[in-house]
Structure formats: structure tokens, C-alpha cells
Amino acid sequence: MAADQDNSETGLRTVQARTRLALDGPNEVAQATRRSFCKRLADMLRQPMFALLVTAAMLYVVLGDLTEGLTLSVFVLAVLVLSFYQEGRSEAAIEALRQLTEVQARVLRDGQIQRIPSRDVVVGDCLLLMEGDRVAADGWLLQADNLQVDESLLTGESLAVDKARREGPWPDSAPADLQACPPHTVVRGGTFVVRGHGRVRVSATGLRSQIGQIGLALAQVQELATPLQQQTARLVRVLAMVVGVLCVLVVLTVGWRTGQWLSALLSGIALAMAILPEEYSVVLTVFPAMGARRLTREGVLTRHLHAIETLGAVNVLCTDKTGTLTENRMTVTAMAVPHPAGSATPGAILAWRTPAPGQEACTAPAPSSDLPEAFLTLIEHAILASAPTPFDPMEIAFHAMGQTHLSEPQRRFGAGQLVQTYALSPRLKAMSHVWQLGPDEPDVVSAKGAPEAVMDLCHLDPEARQRWLACVAQMAAQGLRVLAVAHARFVGGHYPDSAEGFDFAWQGLIGLTDPLRPEIPQAVADCQSAGIRVVMITGDFPATAREIARQAGLPDGDTLTGEELEGLDTAALKARMGRVTVCARISPNQKLRIVQALQAHGAVVAMTGDGVNDAPALKAAHVGIAMGARGTDVAREAADLVLVDDRFDAMVRGIRLGRRIFDNLQKSMQYIFAIHIPIAGMTLIPLLLGWAPMMLPLHIALLELVIDPMCALAFENEPADEQVMRRPPRAIDAPILSTRWLLLAAGQGLCMLASIGTTWGITQAAWAWPRLWPDAPPSPEFTRSMLFVNLFAANSVVVWLYRHGRRDRRGASPKQPRQGQIGFLSNPVADVLLVLAWTALAAAIHIPWLASALKFEALDPLAWALALLMGALTWPAAKALDWLVPGGATDPAPQKGLAQRP
């Protein structure tokens, strides 16, 4: 380790880091490895459907029907490969998302600051910490500036802990045990920086860190089943009970009647396979994973898959202003300073504004080419109150203004040393910097922040305060973000505990323009048409927030300020939030109360946030959305979704996609319920009546090759309905299949079964017309071929109905086109799967050796035409059923309360 001790300026070399990573392994407490092939195979074979298929194949062999046993084994293998493919796609999508949302760390390597996955941090790395970061590993502090760390994950202590560098040099070799170090000089992996910044030498990673030793890993947390998974599990349990009872009855009935108990057991297995909807587990795995992958393409990373289920139910969207509605590209547009002493207008305000559209601020503008000294001083102190190396867009704008208007002799910020910082806090919304400019000069103290806070620091008299507040209001009404600047001088070696201890002098106001993103008005309009209420939450001045809200197209509503919020109890805030559109001058710790008040109204809330103090609100919201570009690790860890580029329209696209995913999942699950009814009927009815069986286990395995990809891949790929953002959100507790949808699915399944029964009746009676059927009576193989063609035709009709013609009564007006009006070839995956299914059926019927193995018989064109016609009759029957089944209260209801407010 001694060789690594001199790297505090340049960090490890890349070669050193790679060697140590290979030696120590990744910086993970529990490696999230994908399941091995054998593990996936074992898990799959434990599923009921595969267990039934394997048991049936073994029974065929025991009964001496080797051909049928081998044929079924081939189908078992095909179903296994298909399931592996679908499950593999899901796992690959989840693994890709896990890597995308992995926590990043800033390290110093080869003398350069680099962002790397936290799993690649190694012992000896120089780790750079900033406010909001998650500490990647254990280590001791090389530097600490106003550093506070939340260690509640390890200690349970809710208060942040102050950290400082150890006095004196560290030993030449790293302490093997950080327990021997003073606690305030070390940091631990898994904790969060809530204030300040620092530099850390990493001493332990992975399982050797404290969090690794006590086993607190996020990967070990088991998420509870979502409401959708719970609903589906209940449905499957009910069906499983029905299947169990029916199978026992069939086995006893057939075995008692025929005396062939193995054949009776095979019949019971076929019935269980026909009724059991094992596809539900497939779609509940595929849809969220593939949906998360689609969200990624829209610029939204999914950290918790359950958020996809909730997205479609969101009816209140709480959004930041800066960087979300606006471009976060600040420009100094206006300034206001007091008239110089001794001027003809004492107490008046001198204003400057760039030549931009709109009214000027306060008074006539001064020419921008020759700014008076008062404006130059204002710019200088705004820069001095900012970070020396700015990353905040406002501070970048101040520095850019200084580069343009300040000459070299005027740029004192380049010659001084920053010796003390007073950070912005909820109590005082202003920050101050103390600069030493020289040994014989007094220290310069510069402050900037909210005008009200800086006025308090300067102790303005009431008259001056009202005059400047009027100027603030006028600038804010033009959509400008307004900050105040003040300065002081200090002589002495002991600085006060807070910025209030300095004698500040008022310097003036700076107004910054942050243009609205051009796509925002359309995105807000989309939200309103979808029944989603948008609430803007910002720390800006109320007039600024209202002007941006007007430009964005938010509807008229009340404005709630942070000061007003503090004076409201829970009941009063709940009543007030029913009318609020803009929340201004809001501190991050007030967002939680806003979320809770909206939820008390019955709203399903999506909340955006980026800071450390936003984490409670993000966690409390139904869908927490963190900013990816400017968000902190704390916010990202608390959120369900992460916006890659912080764009508001990405949220709207995410909601649209969430509705599409839920709609397609609903279609898929309804299709599964419907298609199992004719399959079960074709299996059960012949058994009960003592006829030749029409549906054997190998036929059900063949159908699984059609149903599985159709319900999972085809419906998942279905494009969004054109009405998806023109109807109110669904109720969050609405079942995936309401009573109406279950009745429709059951009715459609019975329509398919009725058409199949009609085909069977015609086939059995056709011997009376030798002109149609020369050979009478038809063989069981011929009848089975007819029924399968009928089933495939009816299946194609039902798939088409779910894709294109399902009538939705959830809010489209009579003048609007019906849901699902989507043209041909809109879903090539579904079209290809249907073509492949028909090709496979034709091959199974007309290739002699395959037909023999599957117990089919070739059909002539007339037989094909009759079977196809009977299957097609499912269309008018199902369409009539759609109008006959009552809607209203049985439909998935829209949300109440705030959801119905535009």
C-alpha cells in the first residue's frame, strides 16, 4: 500500500487500478449474477406446465406408444427453447437496466477526474465526494470542506455527521482497520453526503467494507409482489383449484369406465394442461422487463419495475421548473442597482436590461456597451459569491458576464483565496463566501440568494425594502429568475458562526432568463387531454413561476408559497392543494407535505426531484422521478425512474408508454383467458361423453408454441391506441381484468367453442351428403384436423379483435374514433407469428409423416373452406357480444377526485 500513498494529486494509474480490481474483485457486497443455464432449466422444469408435459411423455412411453412419446418430447423441447428465449430477453433487459442505473463514482486517475461504476472502485483510489453522492467505499479523508455525511444506514442515527481531515500527516501505510481512526476522519461505503465536498483515500471495498461485513446490500432486498402480481396469483389459484377438482373427477370417471387407469391419468393431465393458464407468469415477466427497455429508449431509466405498472394510473404530475420545464441555460438579462450616492435621484433604482423583447425592468435601461461602475461591482460580487469553478447554470452565467464586462484589474475573484463558506440553508436562502485578497487588506464577504433573505442580511429599512420588492416583482413578472447580491468587509481572525454576523451592504438585483423548452406547451396539453394535472414546484419568486406556468400552458389556479405552506395544518393544506397549480418559494423539505396532501385527495402522484432533501418526497410519491443530468445519488436511489436528460416531455412519453404497456398487458391476459376455454372444452367434452379424444397432450404442447409467443411477444409489441392520452387515468386499484373484461373473455371463448362444436356436428353428419364427403363416416384424425383449422381461424379472429377492435368505454367521446383503430402491418411481430402458426398447422396436416405423428389427416379444399368459414363466424358473434355485455360500473373505472380536474 505504501506505493500508493503518493497519489493524492494524480490518483492511481489505470494499470494499477486494473491490477487491484483483478486481485480484490469488484466493489460489490453481493454480486448480482445472472442465473446459470442449469439453474434456469431447473426453475423452468418446476413449473406446472413443464412437469405435466414431461409426465405425459413418460406415460406415452410406459403405454407403449413410443412415436407419440417422442413427438411430445420434441414439442416439450420446442416449448422449453421458446420459454428460454423469452425469459432470456427479459433477464437481458433487466441486466442492461441494472448496469445503466448503477451508481457512479468520481475518482482521480492518471491525474484526471473520471466517472466510473462504483463496482470498479479499488483500494488506493482517490475518491471525490460532492453533496448528494453515495460514498462508494470505506476510506479516510484527505480533504473535507464543510462535509456532512448521513450514516443512518449503518448507525441508525438520523442526524448527519460532520467530517474533517485528520490533523497532521497520515501514516505511510493505510490503517488496516479504520476502527482505530477517529470516527470524524473516515467515511463508510453506502452512506450519503448531505453537504459539502471532500477527497477520500479508499481503504476497503466490497465484502471488506463495513457495509459488506454486516450484510446490508440493496441486492439482498426482496421486493413485495405488486398489486398486479397479487391479482394474477389469486386468479391462478382459483383456476388451479378448479383444475384440480376437474382432473380428479376425469381420472376417476374415465378410469372407472374403461379400467385403463394410466390412460385416464393421461386424460387428466391433458385437461390440466388445457385449463391451466401458465402463460400468465410469462407475460408478467416479459411485459415489465421489455417495457423498462422501451422506457430507456424514451430517455427514462427504470430502477423499480413496479413503477411501470403505476405509470398508467398517474393523475397528478409534480414537476420542477428549472431544467425540466426550462432549458437550464441561464443568461443574465437584467440588473438593478441603487443610484450612486450624490446623484440627482437619491433612493432611486438604476436598471439595465439586454435588448430583448418585453418591457424593461424598473426604469430606463443603461447602454450595455458602457456599464456604470455600480453594475460592474454587482457582477463582481455575484461571481465572488459563486463557486470558483462553476457548475450551476446561474453561476456559469455570472462568470460569463464577468468575462464579457470586467477587465483584468477588476477581476479580484481571480487573485483571492476562498477561506470560508456559508452554505444556503432552509432557514437562510442565501450563500456567502469569505475571500482573503491580501495580507494587508480586509476580507471581502460576498452573498447572493433570494431577495428577501439578502434584504434580511442587509437590514433594509421598510421603505427601501418595499421599493426593492416592487422591482423584484416587476422583473419576476417577465419570467426572470431574480437574485439579490450584497457584500461586506471583515477584519479579524475569527469568523462568525453564520452569515448574519457580517455587516452586509445591499448591492442590487440580477435577473436571469431561462427559456422554456419548445416542446413544453404540447407536452402540457397532452397531460391535460389525458386527465393529468400538472403542478409546478419551484424555489423561484411567485411572479416568475406564474409567468413560466403561463408560457407552459398550465391552467389557471392558485399559487402557494413556502411561507404560506408553513402556516397551514394538514387538513388546510389538503383543501388548498385541490386548487393549486404553482408552488413557489418551496424548499425541498416541504415537497413531502405537498405529496402527502395530494395523496390525501386520492391522487396518484408522480414527483420529480434532484437533491438530497428531495429523497423523502420521491420515496413517498407513487412514482418518484429523479433527474439524471443534475440529480444526486441520494435522489436517484430513492426514485423509481430516472430521467436521462431531465426533460419534462420524457416524463409525458413515459406515462404514455406506461398506459400502452398496461393496455397491452390487459389484452394479453384477456386473450389467455379466452383461448383456454375452447381448448379446455375440446379436451373435457369428449372425455365426459366417452368420445374419441380430440385434444391430446402433444396437441396442447403444439398450441403452446402458438399461444406463448402470441400473448408475450405479439401483444407486447402492439403500438399504443390513438386514444391512449385522451382518456382519464385508470384507478390504481382497478383489477387488470374487470368483471366486464372477464365476461367478454369468457363469452369470446364460448363463441370459439361454439363454432368448433358446430364444425364437429357438420363433420359428423356430413356422411348423409356423399357429394360433400365421399368417405363416410369421417375418421377421428379427419375430425381433429377440421377442428384444429377451426380453432386456428377463431384464434386469429380473436387476436385481431384484441389488436384492432376492442371497444373501450373509459372516456372517449362519441365523436372521437374508437380505441384501437390501427392499420394493417402496424405490428409485424404479430403478423409474422400468425403466418408462422398457419404454416406450421398446414405442414402438420399435409406432411404425411408429421400428420401421422400428430394424429392428423389431410384435408381437401372444401373441408378447409368449411373449417375456415366456421372459425370466421367467431367475428360477428364476438362483436355482438361486445355490445351486449353491460359496461358502466364493470369497466376499469377512472380515478376520482383530482384525476377529473383538467
H or E stretch covering 650: helix 648-689
**Of 545, 529, 539, 550, which is closest to residue 582 (Cα–Cα)?**
545
Q: Indicate the pairing of strand 533-537 with strand 349-353.
A: unpaired
| CA–CA dist 190, 214 (Å, integer) | 12
> Which cell numbers in the block locate residue 264?
385416464
> Which cell numbers in the block locate residue 292?
423498462
| CA–CA dist 378, 386 (Å, integer) | 13
> Which cell numbers in the block locate residue 818?
374508437
> Which cell numbers in the block locate residue 701?
404442447
User: Are 26 and 206 within 8 A, CB to CB?
Assistant: yes
* Total length of the chain: 902
Q: Find the DSSP H helices in 477-590.
A: 520-529, 542-552, 562-566, 570-577
3-class DSSP string for 692-703:
CCCCCHHHHHHH
| CA–CA dist 866, 875 (Å, integer) | 15
| CA–CA dist 112, 106 (Å, integer) | 10
H or E stretch covering 333: strand 331-338
User: Are 610 and 479 within 8 A, CB to CB?
Assistant: no
Could you give the C-alpha distances from 17 to 10, 11, 111, 119, 423, in angstroms and in order? 13, 10, 13, 12, 35
3-class DSSP string for 421-482:
EECCCCCCCEEEEEEECCCCCCEEEEEEECHHHHHHHHCCCHHHHHHHHHHHHHHHCCCCEE
H or E stretch covering 161: strand 161-163
| CA–CA dist 683, 703 (Å, integer) | 13
φ/ψ of residue 667, rounded to 5: -60, -45
**Of 86, 202, 43, which is closest to residue 135 (Cα–Cα)?**
202
| CA–CA dist 213, 620 (Å, integer) | 30
| CA–CA dist 744, 742 (Å, integer) | 5
> Which cell numbers in the block locate residue 584?
413557489
Question: What does the longest C-alpha to C-alpha distance in the chain come to?
Answer: 120
| CA–CA dist 773, 3 (Å, integer) | 93
What one-letter code names the amino acid at 763?
T
Q: At what angle do helices 648-689 and 520-529 cross, to 10 degrees?
A: 40
Positions of E strands within 648-801: none
Could you give the C-alpha distances from 8 to 71, 124, 148, 200, 235, in angstroms and in order? 69, 10, 21, 9, 61
Q: Find the catalytic residue in 4, 125, 138, 320.
A: 320
**Of 486, 591, 589, 586, which is closest to residue 541 (Cα–Cα)?**
586
Q: What is the DSSP letter of 152?
A: H
CB-based burial, 246-263: b 16+ in 10 Å, e otherwise = bbeebbebbbeeeeeeeb
Catalytic residue at 125?
no
Could you give the C-alpha distances from 264 to 52, 288, 534, 681, in angstroms and in order? 14, 40, 62, 17
Catalytic residue numbers read 320
